[in-house]
Amino acid sequence: MRIFKKDFGEKSITYGEALDKHCVMVGLMAKRMRMMSIPGFKNSLCAKLKAHGLKRECRLAVKNFVNNTLLPSYDSATLRPMNLTDLKHQKELNVFRTIPWQEVCKFLAGGFFVNAGILFYLYVARVSVPLWGTGFIETPEVSGVRSIVHAVLFLTFFYLGFIREWKSRNRNAYSVLPIGFIRSALKCRDEAPKQGLEGAPDAFLEILPAYLEGLDRMQGGDEIIVITWLHRARRDVLKVHPRMDPSNPLTGIFLTRSPDRPNPLGLHRAKVLEINPGRLHIGPIEAIDGTPVIDIKPVIESNNC
């Protein structure tokens, strides 16, 4: 295969001869980079190097040259080589992104809110004030127009600084809806035992009407796991004394069964004693009265889930 004369002067040389000369090889790489994508260029180049009998060390050297020299100046998004202007523009964009624009919008929203309030007061009080350093006097009508403009700017920056932040937080939030509630003789946490087998009473699980079909084929005597939302728990606790015993060392809540945790889910193994319309008689269970139930799962004794 021949290389075009317009690329490397009047001298016409073969591809194998060009590989022996580093300057020609670099020129060929740069030329190919402008004609095909990165993966296609690298695969094509390595295949041709191997076909011409170059040693493995030479091929690795060429790969390193491509990765360390050519690719950093190659824009993978547009599949075009970046010049110095593009690189400068990219650095400017990086600096632009480091500015806390949300905080700036909050500050501007506060400033325009204050200005709009002052201008509206001047309009309502029919007060004319001189503009500092200009010699002009601002009439109440001008104050009214300016208050409207500042109010619009306040709403704009309030949206950019606060509303968008609240929307982004809600977008990352997850909601859990209860399927029922526990009805128990236990009314507070102090009355409840630590575990169901430590003397917990039986209770009723009231199922909401929308989820009654989920109880199909459930029978008395079935072993179930009731998943509850411990609504009285604290969610800002990360370390506790196990079993609320101060003699036990502080332990991370993920190694304990403490109800106080960031997402206070409770797991209760219980037995279905009786099935009534809209409610299950289960026990023993240590959940207190009014505890929301998130889900019900069957107990599987074997390891095959």
Domain final position from 91, 121, 142 = 91
Predicted TM-score (pTM) of the model is 0.47
Written as six digits, the tokens of 281 are 């008689």
Reported as a single tens digit per residue, the pLDDT across 177-234 is: 999 999 999 999 888 898 888 889 999 999 999 999 999 999 999 999 999 999 999 9
Residues 66 and 154 in one domain: no
Residues 280 and 189 in one domain: yes
Residues 186 and 293 in one domain: yes
Q: Spell out the residues 6+ positions from residue 32 whose beta carbon is closer than 8 angstroms to its own.
A: 41, 44, 45
Reported as a single tens digit per residue, the pLDDT across 236-272 is: 899 999 988 889 999 999 999 999 999 999 999 999 9
Domain that holds residue 49: 5-91
Q: Is 303 part of any domain?
A: no
Residues 191 and 240 in one domain: yes
Reported as a single tens digit per residue, the pLDDT across 87-109 is: 455 555 555 566 787 788 888 89
Q: Which residues of 257-283 are buried (b: 16+ CB within 10 A; e: fewer)?
A: ebbbbeebebebebbbbeeeeebbbbb
